[in-house]
Chain A
């Protein structure tokens, strides 16, 4: 299946160290039209990986290719087709959602007519019609996250990178965000997302990558991961904990 699909994101030997290695020779391959969940314990290197892919951090070594574009030598071209959304929605309190989308469209040089139509569609899609012309300063976390998500989608990115996008959202808002992401994937977009909510990964991801100590320790569909741990029929939580415990044991033994 994968051989016939275009590669949306490829990282090769990606490395980044702060006080100690955060990402260590990471090879990731994510295909177009795929919903990929990156899981891992706290401090595993998930956010660092995604921030490098989004162009927010410069890797110490390795390469990143987005839709075939070298993101390190042609960052603007890679950014043109990428969107980034973090767990803390960073939007401007004094702008309205409509103005925020106009600002984002301007930064991405989207044709005004196209951007306007897309903004209206996204505002309706995310149930923001009632607040489209209110300043964002009084919005709840869920509404702010929806505005940020609309901003991430207004330039119709091919690759959407999300770092814990569902943290702190109520059930209704979380479902809306999940629906929007699923529809993007159905329409051919690629989503790579980190989450601590394993149920979300279990239900939504086409493939799951498990990262620990900056290295990819397992990757595949849920069934493939279960086979790897030798425990078929277990939940993703059990599988994930078994994989991480196994990695930890190997590390301790190596030391």
Chain B
């Protein structure tokens, strides 16, 4: 047993907290649900291995060598994965700064705060590495089984990527903190994390659109331009790819480099972490004065007052906007494709690529907005004691969500309609159906929560999260097939309606 307040003792404490957070996340706080969670994890792992087999099995037994095309493809995959890891790590570091939690206890205890924060940074790194390894494991396992044990080296590469992502996230967040101060860092760090998470995918799609007019990500990586401008085969840039291919020398080098980088970052930043966290904790007490043109009360109906309140609260919360930004960002490539194709005669079946992306984004965005409006009501007692029937309150909230979705997506549908009327109408109907579906799911699984718990909404009800995703996918498929002029759109539409019916049946509100 380690001595109290020693590094190992603190690490044990952090690990215990981390484990309990994770199990609570998986079981949604219910102890009795542990065995269901284990069964679900096993099923998920088998499904992921099946998915991985479908994606990478073909590459495993081909004799992949360190030729430029292979190195470019693997490096691009690693950079894509790393950008997502960096995004997640930035999110974790920002959260560690801005969550007061046990900060007072730590800073008033006689233990060196440097030691405590060093361990806490280590916990973020362990979490980042664990997530990376867990997500990569099915692919690596399939490659190792089909192509030999050399592929197991990829585990080391993934772990190193997690460590480097954490070190970079620490550096980036603290640099932001020093450059723009604690008040703006929270928002900017969230936006940077969201943009980093989406940038690579979007970048590739944009390149692909400009080069070939399609959304295929692989097209850009095979281009002549990339081959001509890629560094030589001995470049350090290819070491991670070489390591993943089983070059043990490169593997040892990148693992050592990642450990040194993470250790250096922790040593460098742990001393000031407490000061930054204290500065961040005091941000909440800053006053924001609201200027308004007229101070006179406006005459509005209760429903309009409720809708206006929802929109005002959302527009005044940049953190919430940044949280929903990811879904809007993915609209960028289709928007560019639309812009490129505008005015040029297109067959309507070409919109099959574009419309599902728009419909899917609308469904996901509506889910988030509906949660904020319905579950994230910060004054539920006030609204419930107002002299308005509950059904009208709910209707006003639904109108607020659908209104916001219509405002965002109608211009895209209108531009689309100028080019192809039928495609524009189908896109808008798909958007409205997906938004209505997600809203209905959120109504069925509404809980009382604070808006600040928005990040946790996906873990409060996994059924709602999956139902929302599958409903959006089904409506996206419906719209894509309908835009293609086929009556087969009825099939995914039926699936979407079945999902909604199932949600109503298993909703805690229906059962109560």
Instruction: Report chain B residues within 8 Å CB of A193.
Output: none
Are B297 and A95 in contact, with the CB atoms below 8 A?
A: no
Complex Cα distance A187/B400, Å?
A: 39
Question: How far in angstroms is the closest Cβ of chain A from B468?
Answer: 25
Complex Cα distance A204/B305, Å?
A: 36
| 10 closest Cβ pairs, A-B complex | A106-B305, A107-B386, A79-B387, A94-B316, A90-B379, A80-B387, A112-B297, A76-B387, A135-B288, A116-B297
Q: Beyond A98-B295, A134-B290, is A90–B317 a contact (Cβ under 8 Å)?
A: no
Question: How far in angstroms is the closest Cβ of chain B from A135?
Answer: 4
B378 within 8 A of A: yes
Extra contacts, 16 of them, besides A90-B378, A103-B309, A135-B290 (Cβ < 8 A), are A56-B384, A75-B387, A77-B387, A79-B387, A95-B309, A95-B312, A99-B312, A106-B301, A107-B388, A113-B297, A116-B296, A131-B287, A134-B287, A134-B289, A137-B284, A151-B382
Are B385 and A135 in contact, with the CB atoms below 8 A?
A: no
Complex Cα distance A92/B304, Å?
A: 17
Are B378 and A96 in contact, with the CB atoms below 8 A?
A: no
Q: Which A positions have Cβ atoms within 8 angstroms of B?
A: 54-56, 75-77, 79-80, 82-84, 86, 90-96, 98-99, 102-109, 112-113, 115-116, 119, 131, 133-135, 137-138, 151
B313 within 8 A of A: yes
Residue on A nearest B382 in the bound complex, by CB: A90
Are A108 and B386 in contact, with the CB atoms below 8 A?
A: yes
Q: Beyond A94-B316, A107-B306, A107-B388, is A86–B297 a contact (Cβ under 8 Å)?
A: no
Are B386 and A138 in contact, with the CB atoms below 8 A?
A: no
B3 within 8 A of A: no
Instruction: Report chain A residues within 8 Å CB of B30.
Output: none
Q: Beyond A134-B290, A138-B288, is A94–B312 a contact (Cβ under 8 Å)?
A: yes
Q: Which B positions have Cβ atoms within 8 angstroms of A?
A: 284-292, 295-302, 304-306, 309, 312-313, 316-317, 378-389
Are A112 and B288 in contact, with the CB atoms below 8 A?
A: no
Q: Beyond A76-B389, A138-B285, is A84–B290 a contact (Cβ under 8 Å)?
A: no
Question: How far in angstroms is the closest Cβ of chain A from B321?
Answer: 12
Are B288 and A137 in contact, with the CB atoms below 8 A?
A: yes
Residue on B nearest A78 in the bound complex, by CB: B387
Are A115 and B297 in contact, with the CB atoms below 8 A?
A: yes
Instruction: Report chain A residues within 8 Å CB of B384.
Output: 55-56
Are B381 and A86 in contact, with the CB atoms below 8 A?
A: yes
Are B302 and A96 in contact, with the CB atoms below 8 A?
A: no
Are B288 and A92 in contact, with the CB atoms below 8 A?
A: no
Instruction: Report chain B residues within 8 Å CB of A131.
Output: 287
Of the candidates B290, B302, B385, the one whose C-beta lies within 8 Å of that of A55 is B385
Instruction: Report chain B residues within 8 Å CB of A76.
Output: 387-389
Instruction: Report chain A residues within 8 Å CB of B316.
Output: 94, 135
Question: How far in angstroms is the closest Cβ of chain B from A159?
Answer: 11
Instruction: Report chain A residues within 8 Å CB of B380.
Output: 90
Question: How far in angstroms is the closest Cβ of chain A from B283?
Answer: 9
Are B385 and A56 in contact, with the CB atoms below 8 A?
A: yes
Are A108 and B313 in contact, with the CB atoms below 8 A?
A: no
Residue on B nearest A120 in the bound complex, by CB: B295
Of the candidates A54, A94, A102, the one whose C-beta lies within 8 Å of that of B317 is A94
Instruction: Report chain B residues within 8 Å CB of A138.
Output: 284-288
Are A56 and B298 in contact, with the CB atoms below 8 A?
A: no
Of the candidates B284, B296, B386, B387, the one whose C-beta lies within 8 Å of that of A112 is B296
Question: How far in angstroms is the closest Cβ of chain A from B56?
Answer: 47
Are A109 and B302 in contact, with the CB atoms below 8 A?
A: yes
Complex Cα distance A76/B389, Å?
A: 7
Of the candidates A84, A93, A115, the one whose C-beta lies within 8 Å of that of B385 is A84
Instruction: Report chain B residues within 8 Å CB of A92.
Output: 309, 313, 378-379
Complex Cα distance A17/B429, Å?
A: 46
Of the candidates A108, A113, A134, the one whose C-beta lies within 8 Å of that of B387 is A108
A-B pairs with beta carbons under 8 Å apart, 27 shown? A54-B385, A55-B385, A56-B381, A56-B384, A76-B389, A79-B385, A79-B387, A82-B385, A86-B381, A90-B382, A91-B378, A92-B309, A92-B379, A94-B317, A98-B295, A99-B292, A106-B301, A107-B305, A107-B386, A107-B387, A107-B388, A109-B387, A112-B297, A119-B297, A133-B291, A135-B290, A135-B316
Instruction: Report chain A residues within 8 Å CB of B284.
Output: 137-138
Instruction: Report chain B residues within 8 Å CB of A134.
Output: 287-290
Complex Cα distance A137/B317, Å?
A: 11
Question: How far in angstroms is the closest Cβ of chain A from B261?
Answer: 38
Are B379 and A99 in contact, with the CB atoms below 8 A?
A: no
Complex Cα distance A137/B300, Å?
A: 25
Complex Cα distance A105/B306, Å?
A: 11
Are A90 and B386 in contact, with the CB atoms below 8 A?
A: no
Residue on B nearest A111 in the bound complex, by CB: B299
Question: How far in angstroms is the closest Cβ of chain B from A130?
Answer: 10
Question: How far in angstroms is the closest Cβ of chain A from B322?
Answer: 15
Are A106 and B302 in contact, with the CB atoms below 8 A?
A: yes
Residue on A nearest B299 in the bound complex, by CB: A112
Complex Cα distance A167/B291, Å?
A: 32
Q: Beyond A96-B290, A138-B288, is A102–B387 a contact (Cβ under 8 Å)?
A: no
Residue on A nearest B304 in the bound complex, by CB: A106
Question: How far in angstroms is the closest Cβ of chain A from B93?
Answer: 23
Instruction: Report chain A residues within 8 Å CB of B386.
Output: 79, 104, 107-108
Instruction: Report chain B residues within 8 Å CB of A119.
Output: 297
Complex Cα distance A92/B296, Å?
A: 20
Are A91 and B379 in contact, with the CB atoms below 8 A?
A: yes
Complex Cα distance A103/B302, Å?
A: 9
Are A93 and B387 in contact, with the CB atoms below 8 A?
A: no
Of the candidates B289, B300, B313, the one whose C-beta lies within 8 Å of that of A106 is B300
Are B297 and A102 in contact, with the CB atoms below 8 A?
A: yes
Instruction: Report chain B residues within 8 Å CB of A95.
Output: 309, 312-313
Complex Cα distance A59/B302, Å?
A: 27
Residue on B nearest A88 in the bound complex, by CB: B381
Complex Cα distance A103/B290, Å?
A: 15
Complex Cα distance A106/B303, Å?
A: 9
Complex Cα distance A115/B297, Å?
A: 8
Residue on A nearest B317 in the bound complex, by CB: A94
Question: How far in angstroms is the closest Cβ of chain B from A59?
Answer: 15
Question: How far in angstroms is the closest Cβ of chain A from B300?
Answer: 5
Are B302 and A99 in contact, with the CB atoms below 8 A?
A: no
Complex Cα distance A90/B305, Å?
A: 17
Instruction: Report chain B residues within 8 Å CB of A86.
Output: 381
Residue on A nearest B389 in the bound complex, by CB: A76
Q: Which of B284, B305, B378, B381 has the most CB of A within 10 A?
A: B381
Q: Beyond A91-B379, A135-B316, is A103–B287 a contact (Cβ under 8 Å)?
A: no
